Amino acid sequence: MDLKKVLTFLLAGGEGKRLYPLTRDRAKPAVPFGGIYRIIDITLSNCLNSNLRRIYILPQYKYESMARHLRMGWNIFSPELGEFIISIPPQKRIDEHWYQGTADAIYQNLYTLDEGKPEYVLILSGDHIYKMNYAEMISFHIENKADITVSVIEVDKSEASHFGIVEIDPQNKITGFQEKPRDYPKTLPHDSGHCYASMGIYVFRTEVLQEVLKEDAWKDSEHDFGKNIIPRSISKKTVLAYNFKDENKKKKAKYWRDAGTIDAYWEANMDLVSVNPLFNLYDRDWPIRTHHIQAPPAKTVFAEEFGDGERHEPRFGVAIDSLISDGCILSGGRVQNSVLSQNVYIHSYSYVYKSVLMEGVEVGRYSRIRKAIIDKGVIIPSNTTIGYNLEEDAKKYTMTDSGIVVVPKKMEI
């Protein structure tokens, strides 16, 4: 299979309202993840590891942060070899509207298909956490002579209302599609407790994609692949389901997470810090690429404390089951089950537990932080507590129903 015949569109236009305030100043795919990465790095690394090197990124909201990250970390392909990562912000090429939905975003850029002349088009989302070899899905699509292929994953029936649910026949042909059904989701033929959920990953024959997008453009719809394009195509085209294969090694359960809410984002970060992480960043066979800032190695401090000629309790810089990025200094504080981005400073006698601290955060002496997300550049004064008195925290910060506290970027405390 010649992967040069495949063109990839990565949809990175999500406004990220459910991730606010993390998306106050950045697009959802540009939100930091796992200490040194951005969420979009996961999908782009899947492309790189799948040897897909012709990629258009379609952003829409608050693009500057992501554009800078892509320019500094992903300017790695060779145009001379026909390789590229090119961002195409909305240009109003068709009419006076910005992108009206996932399908409309690609419809407004159909001219790229005339220029590149691919045989197949792969469509991805830029805000999911998973490892996948897209080349295998494309091979499945070609071998089975499909018009459209949708990647699916098994989910518990109780979670069906969060996904597009796919109904298939024994030949993997999709016969029904329910968009986030609240009642009576279609379950698997062999397992009434689980459903097939669409992952928002699609392969199209190019001429089929052009046909269905042009047809949809004139309809009164949301111009969305999951809500409109796929359901409408089931009776007219050969639409197949591809069972997701996880590239996370030695894991029994397949890992795929939509990091589109504060709770899901926090949980995805917590999935990284266990002894046997659910999502493994250390697999050398499937590396995750990003842009690395210049920073010294992380440092921990042990020192005796003296004052007024008296010897006091020594201070220990300790990190347990945590990710500690370059430039961090643990000057006597304790960090447990947490993720620290670059240049975080933990002062003496402070405690950070099950939290995500982004670049440049400083935690003062004797402060305690639990189940929190502290955005970039926040200075936390000494003797501050976050995550222990949720009633008080709710008055000052953003907080989810499950009790995750979010302190916005550069907020003065």
Read off the pLDDT of residues 347-398 as tens digits, 9 standing for 90 and up: 999 999 999 999 999 999 999 999 999 999 999 999 999 999 999 999 999 9
Six-digit token pair at 33?
């993840």
Q: Residue 185's pLDDT band (boundaries 50, 70, 90)?
A: confident
User: Among the residues of 271-408, which ranges form H helices?
Assistant: 390-396
* Pair 195, 188: CB distance under 8 Å: yes
Structure confidence by residue, pLDDT tens digits, 284-299: 999 999 998 899 999 9
Is residue 114, in this structure, part of any structural domain at all? yes
Residue 138 lies in domain: 3-270
Any idea what the CATH number is for the domain that residue 181 is in? Answer: 3.90.550.10
The token pair that represents 410 in the structure block: 């550069």
Residues 257 and 312 in one domain: no
Residue 261 maps to a domain: yes
What residue spans of 150-244 are helical by DSSP H?
Answer: 206-217, 230-233
Instruction: Assign 98 a pLDDT band (cuts: 50, 70, 90).
Output: low
Can you tell me the mean pLDDT for 163-186? Answer: 89
Q: Does residue 286 fall inside a structural domain?
A: no
Residues 195 and 85 in one domain: yes
Are 257 and 343 members of one domain? no
Q: Is the pLDDT of residue 97 over 90?
A: no
Same domain, 264 and 314: no
Distance (Å, rounded) from C-alpha 366 to C-alpha 331? 12
> How many domains, in total, are found in the chain?
2
Residue 22 vs residues 19, 216, 353, 405, 409: alpha-carbon distances, Å: 6, 33, 20, 12, 8
Residue 99 reports pLDDT greater than 80: no
- Is residue 214 a part of any domain in this protein? yes
DSSP three-state, residue 340: strand
Question: What amino acid occupies position 238?
Answer: T
Preceding amide of 314 cis, omega within 30 = no
Q: How confident is the model at residue 219 (pLDDT cuts 50, 70, 90)?
A: confident
Q: Whole-angstrom Cα distance, residue 37 to residue 30?
A: 9
What number is the average pLDDT over the span 228-243? 94
349 assigned to some structural domain:
yes
Q: For tokens 């070609």, what's the residue? A: 142
User: Please, which pLDDT band fits residue 92 given cuts at 50, 70 and 90?
Assistant: low
pLDDT at 327: 97
User: What is the mean pLDDT of the segment spanning 153-168?
Assistant: 90
Q: Evaluate whether residue 145 is within a structural domain.
A: yes
Calculate the average pLDDT of the chain. 90
Task: Evaluate if pTM is beyond 0.95.
Answer: no
Is residue 278 in some structural domain? no
Residues 231 and 324 in one domain: no
Q: What count of other Cβ atoms lies within 10 Å of the Cβ of residue 245?
A: 14
